[in-house]
A and B are shown apart, each in its own frame.
Chain A
Amino acid sequence: MMDAYTEAVVIRLGIAILLALGYWITAATGKFSFGHAAFMSIGAYTASILTVKFDWSLETSMLVSGLTAAVAGAFIGWIALRLTILYLAIITFAFAEIVKILLDSWDYAGGASGLFGMRGTTPQLLAICIGVVIVYLFFLTRSRKGLSYEAIREDEQAARACGLGVTRISVEAFAVSAAITGVAGALSAHETLIITPAQFGAPQSLLIILFVVLGGVQYFWGAIVGAVVLTMLPIWFDFLEEYYQITYGLLFVALMILRPQGIVGSGTERRFTMRALARLSPKRGKADGDG
C-alpha cells in the first residue's frame, strides 16, 4: 500500500513517461510538433466529459479520448507534415492555441474555469498503458516501419527519392503519437482533479518536447530517461528554492553545448547509410503498399 505522496509521484512519473513515449513516435520521424498539449487537452476534455457528464468508466473514456486525439492528429498531420521543421512547429503551435481559445469559449465544458470532479487514475492503469505502448514500440523499432521512420528522420529527401511514402508514414506516426498523448491527457485529468484550458498551453507543449530532446531521439527508452529526469528534477533540486528556475534554464544551455543529442544516444546523427536505404527500397511496393 503506497502512501498518498508516493502514489502521486508514481502517477506523475507514469504520465510523463506516456507523454514522452507518445511524442517520441513523431520525433522518430524527425517531425517536431510544438503543440502536443493540444492533443493532451483533446484527450483530457473528451474523457472528462464522458466520465463526469455521462458517467462512463475511465477505461472506456480513455480509449475514446485516444481515438479523438488520433483523428485530430491525422488531420493536422495531413495539413502540416509536408512543411519544414520550423513551419511545422509554428502550425502545430497555432493549432494548440486555437484549441485553447475554442475550449475557453465552450460553455458546456466550463469555459475558462474548466471541469472538475474527475478521479480514478491509478498506478496500475498507467502501468498497463505504458506496458502496451512499450510493447508496440519494441516491435515497431524492429520492424521495416521503424526503419523507415529512421530513414525519414535522417534524410527525408533521400527517403522520398527511394520511394518511401513519406507523407503517409509521417501522418500515421503523428496520429499514433497524438492518440497516446490523448490517453495521457485523459489520465492526467483524472489525477489533477481539475482541468482548465490554461493548463494545456505552450509551457506544457514545451515540457513534452524537452522530455524527448533531453533524453535523446535515437532510442525510445531515451524518452523515458528524459521524462523521469525532468519530472524528478523539481523534487530533487527543491533545495535550490527560488534559484531553481535559473538553474533549470542554465542546465539546458550547458546540455545543448555538451550533449546536443540528449542524454541517451551516440551523437553521430548520420548513422543512417545509403546502404540501409537501399535495403528498404526494392520491396517497398509489397511492404508498404504505396508509392
Chain B
Amino acid sequence: MLFLTACGGDEEGGDGGDDQSDAGPYRLGLVHSSEGPFATNSATMRAGANYAVDLINADGGVNGRDIELVEVDARNDPQTLVTAIPQLVSEDEIFALLAPVDSAGCEIACAIAAELEVPALSAGAGRPGVLEPSRPWSFTMTAPDASNSIPVLEAIMEQESAGTAAIIVDEANATTQAQGDLYREVFDGSDVEVVSTVTFASGDSSFASQVTSMAAENPDVIALAAGPADAARIAVEIRSQGLESLLIGTGSLQAGGTDYINGAGDAAEGTLTAAQFNPDNPDEPAASLLAQAEEDNDLDAVSLNFAYAFDIVNLIATYLTDSGAAASPDTLEDDRQGLLDFLEDVEAYEGMSGDVTFAEDGTGDRPELYAVVENGQFVISEVGS
C-alpha cells in the first residue's frame, strides 16, 4: 500500500530516481480548448497544470530533468483529436496525457490514447461512462455524480424534511439525463413524492413554460438536472415567478459553480448541492497548497479544475520520482505501464484537492461534502456537521 504526500514546493528533488539531467525533459501532453462552452474551464485546467509544472521545475525538476507540457488546442472540435493525440504520442513522444475537461472531448481523447497505450488523466469529465471505452488506460480526478451525490442528497432531504419535489431535466444530454435518474433514486429513498417532472433541451430560449408547469404543483424542492449555465437560468425564472422552493443540485453543479452563481446572481442564494471539492479545505497539506496557489496566481478562490490539474501533474511527478523511470523511447512502454499500476494503487494521495484515490472504474473517489450558496459563494460543509 502506498502512502504519499504532494511534492508541491518542499520536495527534495528525487530521492528515488537517479540524476538523468542529460536525458531532456519529461514530456506530458495537455489537450485544452480555446473555443466552445468549456473554454473557461479548460483555461483553468491549463493554468493549474502549468502552475504545477513551474513549481516542480523551479525546484530542480524530477530526477534532475524538467517537466515539459506539450499543449494542443482542440478548439472544441472532437475531430481534431483524431490526429492531435497520435501526433502527441508519435512525434512528441509524451509520457502521459492530461485529457480534456469536457466529457465529449475526454471520451474520444482517452479512447485514442488507450488505443496507443498511453495513460490519460482528466481534471474534469464527470459524465457517467466517459472512461468506459478507454479503460484501463484512463482516469479522472472527478467523482461521478451517482456515487457521490446520492448519499449527500438523501441526507439533505432528511434534514430539510421535504415532502414534495419537482425535477427539471435537460433531455438532450447524457450527463443530465443521468442526473434526472439520480434524483428519482434520491427521492425514492427518502420518501419524497415527485409531483412534477419537466424537460427542456439545449436551444430553449425561455424556461417560462417549464417553471409555470412546476409552479402549479408548488413543490418543496426543485431538483436541477441541468448544466450549470442552464441551471442558473432556471433558478432566475423560478424566483421571478415567485416560487420559493428549495433548489438542489448534484456535485457537478458545484463543480461548475462559477457559471451557476454568475448566471443566477441572487436567485442562486440558498441552493444546496452535493460537493466533492473544498477550496477552503482546512486540512494540510491542501490548506497551504491552496493558500500558496491563491497568492501566486492572484486568485480569489482556487477552482476545481485548477486543483485537479495541479494534482495530476504532481501525481505523475511522484511516480517518476519514486520509480526513477527514464521514459526514454525504449523504456516508454514499460514506464507507461508502470504509471498505470501506480495510479491503480494510489491510496490517499494528499494533494491540493484533498485526498485522491481512484475507484475501480478509474474515476476519482472524493469526499462526500455538501455546499450551500451564501452571499454569492458556495460554502462547503461535511455531511452531518
User: Which of B73, B111, B116 is close to A116, meaning CB atoms less than 8 Å apart?
Assistant: B111
Q: What is the bound-complex CA distance between A6 and B86, given in angstroms?
A: 8
User: Which of A111, A193, A245 is close to B174, meaning CB atoms less than 8 Å apart?
Assistant: A111
Q: How many residues of A contact B (CB 8 A)?
A: 31
| In contact, A112 and B133 (Cβ under 8 angstroms) | no
User: Which of A104, A113, A192, A238 is close to B82, meaning CB atoms less than 8 Å apart?
Assistant: A192
Determine chain A's interface SS by DSSP, over half rule.
Answer: helix
Q: Give the tally of cross-chain contacts (CB within 8 A).
A: 73
| In contact, A245 and B35 (Cβ under 8 angstroms) | yes
A241: shortest Cβ distance to chain B, in Å?
Answer: 6
Contact A193/B108 with A5-B90, A116-B132 known, Cβ cut-off 8 Å: yes
**B296-321 at interface with A (beta carbon < 8 Å):** none
Q: Note all chain A residues with C-beta closer than 8 A to B73.
A: 238, 241-242, 244
**A113-170 at interface with B (beta carbon < 8 Å):** 113, 116-117, 119
| In contact, B111 and A112 (Cβ under 8 angstroms) | no
| In contact, A193 and B115 (Cβ under 8 angstroms) | yes
B206: shortest Cβ distance to chain A, in Å?
Answer: 20
Residue from A8, A192, A198 with most neighbouring chain B CB atoms (10 Å): A8
Q: How many residues of B contact A (CB 8 A)?
A: 31
Q: Note all chain B residues with C-beta closer than 8 A to A3.
A: 86, 90-91
A5: shortest Cβ distance to chain B, in Å?
Answer: 4
A196 CB within 8 Å of chain B: yes
A112: shortest Cβ distance to chain B, in Å?
Answer: 4
**B112-170 at interface with A (beta carbon < 8 Å):** 112, 115-116, 127, 129, 132-133
Q: What is the bound-complex CA distance between A4 and B93, given in angstroms?
A: 11
A269 CB within 8 Å of chain B: no
Interface readout for A175-197 with B: 1 if CB under 8 Å, 0 if not?
00000000000000001111010
| In contact, B133 and A8 (Cβ under 8 angstroms) | no
Interface readout for B32-44 with A: 1 if CB under 8 Å, 0 if not?
0011000000000
| In contact, A5 and B91 (Cβ under 8 angstroms) | yes
Q: Note all chain B residues with C-beta closer than 8 A to A12.
A: 79, 82-83
A85 CB within 8 Å of chain B: no
Contact A241/B116 with A4-B90, A8-B83, A192-B108 known, Cβ cut-off 8 Å: no
Q: Note all chain A residues with C-beta closer than 8 A to B85.
A: 8
| In contact, B111 and A244 (Cβ under 8 angstroms) | no
Q: What is the bound-complex CA distance between A176 and B108, given in angstroms?
A: 30
B195 CB within 8 Å of chain A: no
Contact A5/B86 with A194-B133, A242-B73 known, Cβ cut-off 8 Å: yes
25 A–B pairs (Cβ distance < 8 Å), ordered by A: A4-B86, A4-B116, A5-B86, A5-B89, A5-B91, A6-B90, A7-B86, A11-B82, A12-B82, A104-B172, A111-B174, A111-B177, A113-B127, A116-B133, A117-B133, A191-B82, A192-B79, A193-B112, A193-B133, A194-B108, A203-B77, A235-B83, A241-B34, A244-B75, A245-B75
Top 5 A-B pairs, shortest CB-CB distance: A116-B133, A4-B86, A113-B174, A112-B174, A8-B86
**A3-B90, A104-B172, A198-B104 known, 8 other contacts, Cβ within 8 Å:** A4-B86, A9-B83, A116-B133, A119-B115, A194-B108, A234-B75, A242-B34, A244-B75
What residues make up the interface of B, taking CB atoms closer than 8 Å to A?
A: 34-35, 73, 75, 77-80, 82-83, 85-87, 89-91, 104, 107-108, 111-112, 115-116, 127, 129, 132-133, 172-174, 177
